Structure 1
Amino acid sequence: MAIELNHIIVYAKDAKASAKFLADILGLEVGDKWGPFYPLVVSNGVTLDYFDTTGDIQSQHCAFLVSDDEFDASFERIKAAGIPYWADPYKQKPNEINHMYGGRGFYFDDPDGHAMELLTAPYA
């Protein structure tokens, strides 16, 4: 069997709201609550399991490889919602996208400070 990432736990102050935030940007639906988790399943089967915490949250980085159409739709939702975005992970190029590896990409933060990235061409 090939080794695949199956799921990742994403800590949040409000797991349901944070899962919905990302689902809305990506044009996805949050699954029904499963145990303590609000699952968000992406097309390759990986699940982001949002989990409520009252403690400090260590920022994580999640990058999503998307099609050009998905990029355009997500980018329009980001702009319409007034969510800050950057062309780089260091937040030195606000309100720009990048064109690395022949594709397009940008970064934004979720409500808990997790760094999210959308890109149309993989780095490798």
Structure 2
Amino acid sequence: MPARFNHTIIAAKNASESAAYYKHLLEAADAPSWGVFTNLTIADGVLLQFAQPPIDFPPQHYAFLVTDRHFAEAREWLVDADRDYWADPWRTRANEISDEDGGQRLYTLDPAGHFLELLTKPYL
């Protein structure tokens, strides 16, 4: 059987704040939390665990494939929440989306400074 993605730990400055952000943006579900982790689940039972590490951490990039409806609702939430987003990872096209690959794509930053990408069509 090929490997399947199961979970990841996302470094957060404030685990609850980051989890709330992802919950809205990704339509994630609450999951039981334990210890230092605030947990959410997304499609296929993938667990997102948020924790504040004892060290400074570099920003990471996380990309999520979403439906057209989900993309539109996430973009609307970003606009309503006055959150920045861009059509490109270099953040040169503010408040725009990309449709260059036959789907829609946008980039935003989570509360800890990680780069999030929402796309409606996979690259491959």
TM-score by length of 1: 0.93
SS of the equivalent of 2:101 reads helix
Which digits, 9 at most, give the CA deviation of each residue in 1:66-87, with x for residues without a partner? 0011111111101100000000
Partner of 2:59: 59
Partner of 1:105: 105
Amino acid at match of 1:64: F
Greater displacement, 63-72 / 34-43: 34-43
- Tell me how many residue pairs correspond in the alignment: 124
Which digits, 9 at most, give the CA deviation of each residue in 1:6-38, with x for residues without a partner? 111111111111111111122223323123211
Q: Distance in 1 between matches of 2:85 and 2:57?
A: 21
Which digits, 9 at most, give the CA deviation of each residue in 1:41-70, with x for residues without a partner? 111222211111242121111111000111
* Residues 45/100 of structure 1: CA separation in 2 closer, same or farther (3 Å cut): farther
1:91 maps onto 2:117 in alignment: no
Flag structure 2 segments of 5+ consecutive residues without an equivalent. Answer: none
1:108-119 paired onto structure 2 within 5 Å: 108-119=108-119
How far the C-alpha of 1:40 sits from its partner, in A, is 1.8
Identity %: 40
TM-score by length of 2: 0.93
Q: Distance in 1 between matches of 2:19 and 2:105?
A: 21
Amino acid at match of 1:77: W
